Every structure is written in structure tokens, then in C-alpha cells.
Amino acid sequence: MSTAETLVKPTTRKQEGASTMQLVSFQLGQEEYGVEITKVQEIILMGEITRVPQTPPYIKGLINLRSTVIPIVDLRLRFGLPEQPPTDETRIMVVNVRGKTVGIVVDAVNEVLRINRDQIAPPPPTVAGPGREYLTGLVRLNKGLLILLDIEKLLDEEEISASM
């Protein structure tokens, strides 16, 4: 089991200042994304999802996670990417957004990264369209760019709740 598949909780060290942060990086299609680790409760394998009628296509349904029923959002569909059948790498990231627990389906979870805040660049003004409001910034890594997401804006509580 990889580090990213175990219970993911931030480690707090006194020497860590506000200049560093930890991210969980994941794959959607060919792009690498990241969310702050403090928003991620855990990462689980894909399981049986109970479909709920009359919901947007990106809301896959509900799962029972240790006696708690949580909605599942397919990030591929949320971003307008084509639907893809689950693979051995597909995971559900269980995140906490404003006191609510939601699962998001991603193609693969890569790793937990510790980055300096000065590695984060604001999204370029040329990035337009419906997804721009979800971007916090771009993280410069040796292997390329990681797109940092604002999971709270992406999983608008009223929109998810209204759909269920």
C-alpha cells in the first residue's frame, strides 16, 4: 500500500512554517492536480456506488463509508472530460468541505508532496472558461506543472446538496 492510500492526515512540526504546505497529487487524464492535504480525510478503492436518479451526470451516486452515506463526484465529468471506466488505479478521495464529507473519483493518486509556497504561481490571466474559478495556482515541479485546486469552490456545497 502506498503512502497516499493510507489514512492521510497532515503532520504538524514546529519547524514547518507558513511557507510550506502539503498537497495530495492526483491524475485526471494527462494532467496532474493537487489539493491541500488538510482537506483530504482518506483515500479509498473504488467500490459499489448507488446511483441516485435525477442528479447531474458528474454526481455518480452515494456510498456507505463506515455507516456514513456520502455523495460521490466524478471529477472527470465535473471538468467536462470524457467518462472512463474505472481501472486498478482509480481511487475515491474522501474530502471534507465546510463540514461535509464528499468523495471525488480520480484516475490515480500519485503522492503526498511538501512544497514551498513560493513554488505556487497564480493562474495565468489567459486561462478562461468555466474551470478558472477552481484554480488556486500552478505549482512548479521538476517534472512539470501541477494544477492546484480550490476543493471548496469545486465542490460547492449547495450545488451538491441540491442534487442529492
User: pLDDT tens across 95-152, in order?
Assistant: 998 888 999 999 999 999 999 988 888 877 766 555 567 788 899 888 888 999 988 8
For residue 93, the Cα-to-chain-centroid distance in whole angstroms is 6
Lowest-confidence region among 61-65, 89-93, 103-107, 117-121: 117-121
pLDDT given for residue 4 in this prediction: 42
- The DSSP code for 79 is T
Residue bearing the bigger pLDDT, 95 or 4: 95
What's the whole-number average pLDDT of the chain?
82
Q: How confident is the model at residue 3 (pLDDT cuts 50, 70, 90)?
A: very low
pLDDT of residue 118: 86
* pLDDT at 9 > cutoff 50: no
User: What's the CATH code of the domain at 92?
Assistant: 2.40.50.180
Rounded to whole angstroms, how far apart are CA atoms 87 and 68? 25
- Looking at the DSSP bridge assignments, the partners of residue 144 are 141
Amino acid 2: pLDDT: 42
- Tally the domains of the chain: 1
- pLDDT of 69 over the 90 cut: yes
At CB < 8 A and 24+ separation, what contacts does 138-144 make?
139/23, 139/34, 139/113, 139/115, 141/113, 141/115, 144/32
Q: What is the pLDDT of residue 85?
A: 92
Query: Are 143 and 128 spatial neighbours (Cβ–Cβ below 8 Å)?
Result: no
* DSSP 3-state of 132: helix
Checking if the pLDDT of 6 tops 70, the result is no
Query: What pTM was estimated for this model as a whole?
Result: 0.80
The number of angstroms, rounded, from the C-alpha of 135 to the middle of its chain's C-alpha atoms is 12
Query: Which domain range does residue 23 map to?
Result: 3-163
**What is the pLDDT averaged over residues 19-45?**
93
Check: CB of residue 114 under 8 Å from CB of residue 22. Answer: yes
What percent of the chain has pLDDT above 70?
A: 80
Report residue 12's pLDDT band, with 50, 70 and 90 as the boundaries: very low
